[in-house]
Amino acid sequence: MNVADVIVEIEELKAEIGKRQSARMNYDLTEGVVTIEQLTLPEGWENKHGTRHADMRFDLDETYPRSQPTVYISSDIRYEGTSPHVLYARSSAPPGFVKYCIHTLSDWDPQEHDLVTMFRILEVSLENPHSDNPLVEA
């Protein structure tokens, strides 16, 4: 993982998020973790406090960007009162998070795709939690 390149990606991601909403970002590249705090989710999503806010977490492994990040979201959110299949409760996740199901994207290309791509995929997927191939739609 090239730290300088990832920092550039984070800068671009912050700008991308800033186009639509304000959210705070953290990162810890010793652990390969990028977190977006208090992201506003689309209509239909709700957390335990009854608001549409959630934290989003990208875990980048040591081979990033050759492999896509693993994505987690706050574990207390529901979509229209239910837990859709994108909330992957059976899989392991950091405390307070649940794995967000974007299984391996066969189209993932380290030359083209980055954190902004992943965020756009997530936005599309959150709009329609039953989307089959969010990468194409993003």
Partner 1 sequence: MTATSDIASETVSDTVTDEYELVLTATQVRRLREWLLRDDGIERFAYVYCTPEDGRLFAREIDPVPGEDCEVQEEAAVRPALSVERERLGSALEDGLVPVMLHSHPFSDYPSFSGLDDDIMESYREWLGGLYPDTPLCFGVLGHRGMDTAVYIDPQRETRRRLPVEVVGDWALEGPLDAPTAPTTATVDEDRYDRSIRALTERGQQRLADRTIGIVGLGGLGSIVATQLARLGVRRFVFSDPDHVERSNLPRIYGATEADVGRPKVEVVSEHVVRANPEASVDAYEARVQDVPKDALAACDVLIGAVDRLTARLYCNEFAIRHLRHYVDAGVSIETTDDGHITEERGLVQLVAPGVTGCLDCLGRNDPERLRLESMDEAEIEADIERGYLDEDVRSPEPAITPLNALAANTTVRMVTKLVTGYEAPADYVRLDGTTNEMVSVGTHPSRECLTCGTDGCLGEGTQRIDEDTLAEAESLDLDVDLEELAEQDATATPTEITADSLRPAAPRPGDDAGPAPEIDSQSQSVAGGWYGTESPPAAEDPSGDDAEAPLASASGDTMRDDDRSRSDLSGSAQLLAVLRTNACPIAIGCLGVLALWRYLRR
Q: Which is nearer to partner 1, 46 or 55 (CB)?
A: 55
Piece of the chain touching partner 1 by CB under 8 A; list 41-49, 57-65, 75-83, 128-136: 57-65
C-alpha span between 114 and 109 (Å, rounded): 9
Per CB under 8 A, 136 contacts partner 1:
no
Q: Which is nearer to partner 1, 70 or 131 (CB)?
A: 70
Which stretches within the chain are classed as H helix? 3-18, 115-127, 134-137
Per CB under 8 A, 67 contacts partner 1:
yes
Do 103 and 90 form a contact (C-beta atoms < 8 A)?
no
Per CB under 8 A, 92 contacts partner 1:
yes
Q: What is residue 80's DSSP assignment?
A: T
Residue from 49, 50, 81, 104 touching partner 1 (CB under 8 A): that is: 104
C-alpha span between 33 and 70 (Å, rounded): 10
Do 91 and 97 form a contact (C-beta atoms < 8 A)?
no
Q: Which residues make up the interface to partner 1 (CB under 8 A)?
A: 2-4, 7-8, 10-11, 14, 25-30, 61-63, 65-68, 70, 88, 90-92, 99, 103-106, 108, 110-111
